[in-house]
Structures are given as structure tokens and as C-alpha cells.
Structure 1
Amino acid sequence: MKKKIKHSFLLFIFTSFAMPFFAQDNNFENTVRESVRHQMEKYPQSTLKDLYKHFFQDRYGPGHIIDDTVAAGKYLLRELDSYTTITGEIAEPTGWQHNFYRVNLSVIKDKLIPYDVFLSAFVRSVSGIRPIPIEDWKQEWGEIEDIIKSMGLSLPDYEKDNEEIDAKLEKGNYVGHHSDIFNKAYSPHYRIVSSQIYEEELLPLLEKQKGNQ
């Protein structure tokens, strides 16, 4: 009997350490589910690609799109000049850890935040990024995708998108893009800003502007 108990205990210990930390945490699943539900409520035309982008941005931030400050600034100006209709929330947290916010470019167009202040916040958000190894991200995304699948969302082209995402990850490429469906439905225009910079620097400016209205 003692041997059987000892064997069961050792098996439990081995299994626990073999599982990723997020797979052991019920809070992880609940938080992922809540994040997905929020995304689908706000953007019901989202596909798996859009949900993937929502979660990978939470881990990797804006680092993949910033080569240098000058290039980032020029690209931002071109995007600001490319559209006139302003839609969407001013700021929305990414993923399940909320390490970053998607900050709508409307804050510049509506003159709520000066362009140079916004660009500085965006560029500086890269310096605080601590990206996880691609193998760890592949494992975490696998857990997230399992949760999404269990929610029965009937996302269009689910299997096709899932295969494309997995193929990119196998090549060491974690970057994802919004689907054509999402772009046509919502015309997103935003930049990723770290939660700390947004909450400490940009949010007070937004609240001040709101108070002056």
C-alpha cells in the first residue's frame, strides 16, 4: 500500500512539473475565456487569426514593427493621412495578461494626445519587452487555442487559419496579422503601448482632456 501511495505521489509530482505553468492554473483558462468573450462581443467578425494577434501582441508588444524611431514616425504619419473615419475604443488591453494596450490613433486625430508624446510612448514601449522563447510561446498558444476551440465560437475558416498559424510558428515566426474580414469590418488603426506607459502617461492626458470638455 505504501509503495502504491509513493508511486502515485511521484507520478503527480512528475506530471505537475511536466505541464506548463499556465495549463495548471484555472485562472489562466478563466482569464483567456473572458478575454476571448470580450473580443468577440466587441468584434464579432473576428477570426482565429484576429484572436491570435490579440494574444501574441500581449507577449511580444510592438517590437516586430519598429526598426528605428524615424521609420516608425514616418509610417505613423502615413497611416494617419490614409483615413478619415474614426471608429473603435480609445484603448483596449491585449491578451490575458494585459501587458499592453491597443491605443486608437483617434487620440492623435482628435488632438487628445500630441503626436510627439504618442510616438514617444509607442517607441519606448519596445524597451520594456521581455519576449518569451518561441518554443514557450508555441506551447502557450496551443493551450489558448484549445480553450478557444472548446468555446464553440464557429469562427470562419478556423482549421485553415489554425494550420497557417502553426506553420508559421514551426518556422519560428510568431507575428500574426488581422484577417481581411476584420480589416474590412472594423478598419483598425492603433498602436501597441505598454500598460505602464499608457496608464502613467497617456491615460492622465486623456482624463484631463475629458475633464476640460
Structure 2
Amino acid sequence: MKQLNLQPGALNIEQIIINELALHPSCKLIDIYKLLFQAYFGPSHILKDKMTVAASIKTETLTMQHTYKPLFQDIGNGVGFCRISLGNLRPAAISNPLAFKQQCDALADLMQLSCLESDPPYTINELWHNYQKTILDICPANKEEWEEVSALAKNTTIPSHSDIFSTVYQPHYRIIDIQLIDKIPLHI
């Protein structure tokens, strides 16, 4: 478990959004919210037991049609967390089932190590509303879209990616602590 004393200012919210839009220009406000949620909370929102997580990694990798890019995405500008594309596991999935299982298990272990031990100093709702002007300056949205995503923040809900993001980028990744990147038994 990770002890994270992350202040929102340490994340440089503006740069995180700019970087995401440079990589994924078709993303919508809901995708920006999901990114900030992941950058702030890491994998804590999805982690169940390691066996279930490893099995879901295996299933998703074997059934995905395309490799999500980039293979590695720093979502906190060197602070906090990163996205690891499951495309990194595809070579082993195709050629070496034992190595693939070990990679899935190792990634599940790293996700568990990346979970927060305690809540960050701010809720996602506070973070979202404190940075409203910054977010909307970079990623304009109408009032209805803002209110829809704000309702998710109020309820601490992490959504799926938008339909357009899912169609264009086909996201298949997991979130881990960026400091654990060198522990991944993958070739990134």
C-alpha cells in the first residue's frame, strides 16, 4: 500500500490536461475527469483481490483488438501514477503463456502496492470544483456536460471512458505508482 501525501498543486492539473489532449485530442470532459481521478487516487478505486485483478488483466489482454497507445503514460508529471498499456503484455500472451501469467500476476501485485493507504487531503469533488476554471479553459464544455461530470465527482464515481475515446483509442491499461515502473517485468 502506498502512503501518498499528494497535494493537488503537486500534480500540475493544467499540464496533466494539456498532455492528455496532446496524446488523445478526441477526449471529452468525462475522460479528463477520469484522468484526474486516476492521477489523484491511482488504482485504489478498482482493486479487488489480486487473483481477480490478474484474471481481469489476462482476459482483457487476450480479447483486446488493438494496442492502446502510449504503452506508458505518466499521468502526474513524474508525481503519483502512470497508465501501463496492456499492449505491453501481448508478446508474452502470444508466445509464452507462463511468462504472460507471471506478467499478469506481477502487474496485479504492483497495482496493489500502488493503492493508497489513506484518503488524499482533498476529495475528487473538491479537486474538480477547485480547478473548474483551469479545466474549462483547456477543455471547454457546455453547462450540461459540466453538471453531468460534476455529479460523478460529487458521488466519487469513476466512469467508463466516453464513447468517442473508447472508439478512437480503445483503452486497455492499468494504473500503477510511477515509482514502481522499473519493477514491471515488461519491455516498455
Whether the TM-score (by the shorter chain) exceeds 0.5 is yes
Corresponding residue for residue 201 of structure 1: 183
Match of 2:127 among 131, 140, 151: 140
- What residue in structure 1 maps to residue 95 of structure 2? none
Provide the rounded CA distance (Å) in 2 between the counterparts of 1:159 and 1:180. Answer: 19
Partner residue, 1:130: 118
| 1:13-24 matches, cutoff 5 A | none
Structure 2 gaps of 5+ residues are 1-6, 93-98
Cα contact 1:90–1:103 (8 A) shared by 2: yes
Query: Relative to structure 1, is the Cα distance of residues 59 and 118 closer, same or farther in structure 2, using a 3 angstrom cutoff?
Result: same
CA–CA distance in structure 1, aligned partners of residues 41 and 117 of structure 2: 7
Q: Which has the larger radius of gyration?
A: 1
Structure 2 match to 1:34: 15
CA contact 1:46–1:181 (8 Å) conserved in 2: yes
Which residue number in structure 1 is paired with residue 152 of structure 2?
168
Q: CA RMSD in A?
A: 2.7
Q: How far off is 1:62 after superposition?
A: 1.0
1:177 pairs, out of 142, 160, 176, with 160
Aligned to 2:73: 92
Out of 34, 43, 49, which is 2:24 matched to?
Answer: 43
Say which SS state the counterpart of residue 69 (structure 2) adopts. Answer: coil
1:163 CA displacement:
1.1
- SS for the counterpart of 1:192 is strand
Superposed CA deviations along residues 155-188 of structure 1, whole A, max 9, x for unmatched, are: 5xx4333212222333x32423311110001001
Aligned length: 174
Letter of the structure 1 residue corresponding to residue 147 of structure 2: E
After TM superposition, the score normalised by the length of structure 2 is 0.78
Query: For the structure 1 residues 38 and 187, does the alpha-carbon distance in structure 2 shift closer, same or farther, using more than 3 Å as the test?
Result: same
Shift of 1:141: 1.3
Instruction: Give the % identical residues.
Output: 22
Distance 1:87 1:139, change over 3 A: closer
Q: Are the aligned partners of 2:28 and 2:162 in contact in 1 as well (CA < 8 Å)?
A: yes
Q: Which has the higher contact order (CA 8 A, sep 6+)?
A: 2
**Deviation at 1:53?**
0.8
Equivalent residues of 2:55, 2:104 under 8 A apart? no
